[in-house]
A and B are shown apart, each in its own frame.
Chain A
Amino acid sequence: GQQLNQSPQSMFIQEGEDVSMNCTSSSIFNTWLWYKQEPGEGPVLLIALYKAGELTSNGRLTAQFGITRKDSFLNISASIPSDVGIYFCAAHNAGNMLTFGGGTRLMVKP
């Protein structure tokens, strides 16, 4: 199936730095989601975005639903070691299956 283009594929940053990752698509979606997956676990929903232009925060995480409805970004401020994991974007339209990005592997150096 169609896959979202997620970048970067991996990031190795210093604790305390801010992180930014994004997803783009050639198709329009009505819902964008961001998940985090830690080793040996399933993806956990972090933020859900339902409206174009919407900016939503969850603690140190902020995500935006692009105005064109073809992209989304996730920012993490002041990273800490427990932010380590793989971050997935996903998107869908009502009644349709989720389409996933390839994931961004985040590594944080204490």
Chain B
Amino acid sequence: ETGVTQTPRHLVMGMTNKKSLKCEQHLGHNAMYWYKQSAKKPLELMFVYNFKEQTENNSVPSRFSPECPNSSHLFLHLHTLQPEDSALYLCASSQGLGDTQYFGPGTRLTVL
């Protein structure tokens, strides 16, 4: 148990669906991150939030929309995704920006 939870663990959606991924951290951290992990590719940083403010958007397509209502919760809203968006989406948190990150178990997303 790393203190970072993600739901759902698995998600299958069509290209026209709208869904959301949820991340919650119980570590009292101030920074939260979204990563995409595709098969045989390095981890790709998508978004970074620090004290609820977005500090980084790594040229992510607008069909991915993050939301951080407070320092403990992070969402990733999905809309009109493509099959190539199928991947493991990982959430992480750290005490401060750039500190050691602790990861959640991930959401395995399949886009049909």
Contacts and interface: CB of A to CB of B under 8 A. Distances in A.
Nearest to A96: B98
A48 interface: yes
A45 to B, nearest CB: 6
The interface residues of chain A, by DSSP majority, are classed as loop
A1 interface: yes
A103 B38 CA distance: 13
B101 A98 contact: yes
Interface residues of A, number: 25
Given A94-B98, A97-B98, A42 B42 contact: no
B13 interface: no
Contacts of B56: 97
Given A97-B45, A97-B48, A45 B105 contact: no
A95 B103 contact: no
B88 to A, nearest CB: 8
Interface stretch (A11-19, A33-41, A53-61, A75-83): A33-41
Interface in B60-106: 88, 90-92, 96-98, 100-106
Contacts of A92: 98
Contact of B98 (A44, A93, A101): A93
A78 to B, nearest CB: 26
B66 to A, nearest CB: 16
A88 B43 contact: yes
Given A102-B42, A103-B42, A40 B98 contact: no
B42 A45 contact: no
A3 B108 contact: no
Interface of B: 2, 4, 6, 42-43, 45, 48, 56, 88, 90-92, 96-98, 100-106, 108
Interface of A: 1, 3, 31, 33, 35, 40-45, 48, 88, 90, 92-98, 100-103
Ranked nearest first, the 5 interchain pairs of A and B with the lowest CB-CB distance are A42-B103, A95-B98, A42-B106, A96-B98, A43-B103
